[in-house]
């Protein structure tokens, strides 16, 4: 991807500026402060404590890890001090969240509250004029310049079916307020979107008008914004593309993405996983096929080489497509049979049969570019040349296991499991994060409702390279003892291959029982797609007959849309795995019960987990205590945290994994519950013992 700072330049050094961030944070969050008086909000001491700690870290340019329980109001606790500091210092506050939906929530809900607070007092009025912008990845935006060229070059680039899709996109472009891909329903076909999105040198200040191009408009707004809202995946992608630029004398600037910025990482418990995925290699048969067919598609006879290069260039693409099929078929048939994920431990597991064809394409495209005048077509040839070079370099790295600090693997992916992906990831991501985040001489605030592992934040600090950072935890102000009831099923068979069928039958029986007893909505969290689908197959017909709404991850709706449906329907049963353990926000009776089917231990056989366990063992540590258990505890706490989202919420947590009672480590999970009391259930006492809220 193209970095957002390719034309940015560091600001002139003007020396330190005074900031009132600590003084004003204490004033605003005080019991008689503007937050309470202007908005009639209840004073929350935990929020005031967080705001004070954040203000100090920002003023001193130091890191801070702050766990704020549900209901503390952490968004305002970091946004208000952050805006004050950004305006006072002439610096940019970067806020990174886990999801695009949370980005939008901050922009549409939280920042307007900040403006109201600042406008409520003449002494704060100057801060109310702060500017903000939300950024997503460049490929998410439609580029009107590229769309216009695609429409004009239809005979070169598109077959009839693709041209119909292009016309649909063009019609949508006339009315879209955002030009973001996720606003187009149904989603555009990837091969057509590739030709019109903003992730290209054609979408630049030289070629695009910011009055018409939403991406360029975001770039213009970016240069004057005090608050920039990104998501974690984009943050690490931008860091990989260069991060904060250097001074003209070659020295590094203070800052993570832009000169002199400072950073807040919300939902920071996801940072190790997102960073691990983004600091590695990801290359697939699908991505290579799309890159080659953008140059020339033998089925449609369309592509960039229809106009440039002629038969010779087209033949080189055909050679590369043939080599690609041979290469990925070999990986699929010889390595990924019968397992869908296989770790690669030794170099040279396949012949580098793509190296020659891709190298020939790269050289030819250089010659083609040399023959063209400077301009859009010249730039596009060079851009596609760099794309081919990147793919070739990625294949070479994967085949040679080029980075000794990474783990390499192959996997099947896609809905039909027909795509072959080549992956790598750093075994220990802490050095990367230490260098790119905590070593940038600027404040980095990490916050979440779940940072602690077994009551301590230090293990997470070590994993993300924030050793020695100040770590603070404050509890939720909600009354969990009164508003949450916890039940643990003691008679569900322990997960094991021998007891798998009995365990699944017991899960099905308990889920049927618990959902029938709770009138509001129920979120059922699984750790296995297979188990989820098997239970759904048994229970969905009965719910359909009873006209009980049933929703399940992996069907037609996205996570955001499923959560919206649950909020709207009021008594739905939603089955989810993995991503549904965190970030789903359904307040009120629409979510009256969370059922935990299994403790969320990561599969020990995944190459990343396996390599991390080996690394810990080599250092003399205990992988279960240092990695497996802490990760499961954080995910467990996140899952439990879906239930109580407001002061008035009430509900039931039902745990169907009897390991919390039978295993020594079970007390760690019970100890991480927000309430001290729980009740045992079995099939003999549950009719009497299970008491949901009315």
Residue-wise pLDDT for 395-420, tens only, equals 999 999 999 999 999 999 887 889 99
Alpha-carbon gap, residue 667 to 629, rounded angstroms: 12
Tell me the residue range of the domain where 182 lies: 133-224
CA angle 320, 325, 328 (to 5 degrees): 115
Residue 2 lies in a domain: no
Give yes or no: residues 622 and 485 share one domain: yes
pLDDT digits (tens, 9 = 90+) for 91-138: 999 999 998 778 888 999 999 999 999 999 999 999 999 999 988 888
Give yes or no: residues 266 and 316 share one domain: no
Q: Compute the radius of gyration of the chain from its Cα atoms.
A: 27
Alpha-carbon gap, residue 626 to 621, rounded angstroms: 7
pLDDT at residue number 204:
79
Give yes or no: residues 458 and 492 share one domain: no
Q: Single out the residue in 412, 440, 474 at which a domain terminates.
A: 474
Alpha-carbon gap, residue 356 to 371, rounded angstroms: 23
Q: Single out the residue in 406, 426, 446 at which a domain terminates.
A: 426
Asked if residue 66 lies in contact with residue 445, where contact means CB atoms within 8 angstroms, the answer is yes
Give yes or no: residues 286 and 331 share one domain: yes
- The residue whose two tokens read 């020659």 is 356
pLDDT digits (tens, 9 = 90+) for 511-555: 999 999 999 999 999 999 999 999 999 999 999 999 999 999 987
> What torsion, rounded to 10 degrees, do the Cα atoms 662, 663, 667, 668 define?
-150
Give yes or no: residues 315 and 393 share one domain: yes
Give yes or no: residues 618 and 533 share one domain: yes
Residue 241 lies in a domain: no
Alpha-carbon gap, residue 554 to 533, rounded angstroms: 10
Alpha-carbon gap, residue 261 to 506, rounded angstroms: 53
DSSP structure class, residue 13: P
pLDDT at residue number 408:
98
Question: SS3 for 472?
Answer: strand
Asked if residue 509 lies in contact with residue 494, where contact means CB atoms within 8 angstroms, the answer is no
How many CB atoms lie under 10 A from the CB of residue 304?
Answer: 22
Per-residue pLDDT averaged across 568-573, rounded? 95
Give yes or no: residues 420 and 511 share one domain: no
Residue 612 lies in a domain: yes
Query: Max alpha carbon distance in the chain (Å)?
Result: 83
Closest listed residue to residue 185, CA positions, set 202, 206, 199, 171: 171
What is the distance in angstroms between the CA of the first residue and the CA of the last residue of the chain?
53
pLDDT at residue number 245:
57
Residue 606 lies in a domain: yes
Asked if residue 303 lies in contact with residue 296, where contact means CB atoms within 8 angstroms, the answer is yes
Bond preceding residue 186 cis, omega within 30 of 0: yes
DSSP structure class, residue 342: E
The pair of structure tokens assigned to 163 is 């041209």
| Mean pLDDT value across the chain | 90
| pLDDT for 11 beyond 50 | no
The pair of structure tokens assigned to 675 is 């309430």
Question: SS3 for 282?
Answer: strand
Alpha-carbon gap, residue 557 to 549, rounded angstroms: 14
Residue 235 lies in a domain: no
Spell out a b/e string for 13-42, using b for 16 or more CB atoms within 10 Å of the CB, else e.
Answer: eeeeeebbbbebbebbbeeebbbbebeebe
CATH number of the structural domain spanning residue 627: 3.40.50.300
Give yes or no: residues 367 and 402 share one domain: yes
Give yes or no: residues 168 and 95 share one domain: no
pLDDT band at 3 (very low <50, low <70, confident <90, very high): very low
Give yes or no: residues 442 and 517 share one domain: no
Asked if residue 222 lies in contact with residue 199, where contact means CB atoms within 8 angstroms, the answer is no
Give yes or no: residues 543 and 447 share one domain: no
Q: How many domains does the chain have?
A: 4
| pLDDT for 24 beyond 80 | yes
Per-residue pLDDT averaged across 205-234, rounded? 87
pLDDT at residue number 243:
66
Alpha-carbon gap, residue 214 to 217, rounded angstroms: 5
Residue 486 lies in a domain: yes
pLDDT at residue number 620:
96
CA angle 263, 265, 268 (to 5 degrees): 155
Alpha-carbon gap, residue 606 to 341, rounded angstroms: 7
Q: Single out the residue in 394, 410, 426 at which a domain terminates.
A: 426
DSSP structure class, residue 453: B
Residue 78 lies in a domain: yes
Residue 97 lies in a domain: yes
Give yes or no: residues 108 and 149 share one domain: no
């Amino acid at each position: 991807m193209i970095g957002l700072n390719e034309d940015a330049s560091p600001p002139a050094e003007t020396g330190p500026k005074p900031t009132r961030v600590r003084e004003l944070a204490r004033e605003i969050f005080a019991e008689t402060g503007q937050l309470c008086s202007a908005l009639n909000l209840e004073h929350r001491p935990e929020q005031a404590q967080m705001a004070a700690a954040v203000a100090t870290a920002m003023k001193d340019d130091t890191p801070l890890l702050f766990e704020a329980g549900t209901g503390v109001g952490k968004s305002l606790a970091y946004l208000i001090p952050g805006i004050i500091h950004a305006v006072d210092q002439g610096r940019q506050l970067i806020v990174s969240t886990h999801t695009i939906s949370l980005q939008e929530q901050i922009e549409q809900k939280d920042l307007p509250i900040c403006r109201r607070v600042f406008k409520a007092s003449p002494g704060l009025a100057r801060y109310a004029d702060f500017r903000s912008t939300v950024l997503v990845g460049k490929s998410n935006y439609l580029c009107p310049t590229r769309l216009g060229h695609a429409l004009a070059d239809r005979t070169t680039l598109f077959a009839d079916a693709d041209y119909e899709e292009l016309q649909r996109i063009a019609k949508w472009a006339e009315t879209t307020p955002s030009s973001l891909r996720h606003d187009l329903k149904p989603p555009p076909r990837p091969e057509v979107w590739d030709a019109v999105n903003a992730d290209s040198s054609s979408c630049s200040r030289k070629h695009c008008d910011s009055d018409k191009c939403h991406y360029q408009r975001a770039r213009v707004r970016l240069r004057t914004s005090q608050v920039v809202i990104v998501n974690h995946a984009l943050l690490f992608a931008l860091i990989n593309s260069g991060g904060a630029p250097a001074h003209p004398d070659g020295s590094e600037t203070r800052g993570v993405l832009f000169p002199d910025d400072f950073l807040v990482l919300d939902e920071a418990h996801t940072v190790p996983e997102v960073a691990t995925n983004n600091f590695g290699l990801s290359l697939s048969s699908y991505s290579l096929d799309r890159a080659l067919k953008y140059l020339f598609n033998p089925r449609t006879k369309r592509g960039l080489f229809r106009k440039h290069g002629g038969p010779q260039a087209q033949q080189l693409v055909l050679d590369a497509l043939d080599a690609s099929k041979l290469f990925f078929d070999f990986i699929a048939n010889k390595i990924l049979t019968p397992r869908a994920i296989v770790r690669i431990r030794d170099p040279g597991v396949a012949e580098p049969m793509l190296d020659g064809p891709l190298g020939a394409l790269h050289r030819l495209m250089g010659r083609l570019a040399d023959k063209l005048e400077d301009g859009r077509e010249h730039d596009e040839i060079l851009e596609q040349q760099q794309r081919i070079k990147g793919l070739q370099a990625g294949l070479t790295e994967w085949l040679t296991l080029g980075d000794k600090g990474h783990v390499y693997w192959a996997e099947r992916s896609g809905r039909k499991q027909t795509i072959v992906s080549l992956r790598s990831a750093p075994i220990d991501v802490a050095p990367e994060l230490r260098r790119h985040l905590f070593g940038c001489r600027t404040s980095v605030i990490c916050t979440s409702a779940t940072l602690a592992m077994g009551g301590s934040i230090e293990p997470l600090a070590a994993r993300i390279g924030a050793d020695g950072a100040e770590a603070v935890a404050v509890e939720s102000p909600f009354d969990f003892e009164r508003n949450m009831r916890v039940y643990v099923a003691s008679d569900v068979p322990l997960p094991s291959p021998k007891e798998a069928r009995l365990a699944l039958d017991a899960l099905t029986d308990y889920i049927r029982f618990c959902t029938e007893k709770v009138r509001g909505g129920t979120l059922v969290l699984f750790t296995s797609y297979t188990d989820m689908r098997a239970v759904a197959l048994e229970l969905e017909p009965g719910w359909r007959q009873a006209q009980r709404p049933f929703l399940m991850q992996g069907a037609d709706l996205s996570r955001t849309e499923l959560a919206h449906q649950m909020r709207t329907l009021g008594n739905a049963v939603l089955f989810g795995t993995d991503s549904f353990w965190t970030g789903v926000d359904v307040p009120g009776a629409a979510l009256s019960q969370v059922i935990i089917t299994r403790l969320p231990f990561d599969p020990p056989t995944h190459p990343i987990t396996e390599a991390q366990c080996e690394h810990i063992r080599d250092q003399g540590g205990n992988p279960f205590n240092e990695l497996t258990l802490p990760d499961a505890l954080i995910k467990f706490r996140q899952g439990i945290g879906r239930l109580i989202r407001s002061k008035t919420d009430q509900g039931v947590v039902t745990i169907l994994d009897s390991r919390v009672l039978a295993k020594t480590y079970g007390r760690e999970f019970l100890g991480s519950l927000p309430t001290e009391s729980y009740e045992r259930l079995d099939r003999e006492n549950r009719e009497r013992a299970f008491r949901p809220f009315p």
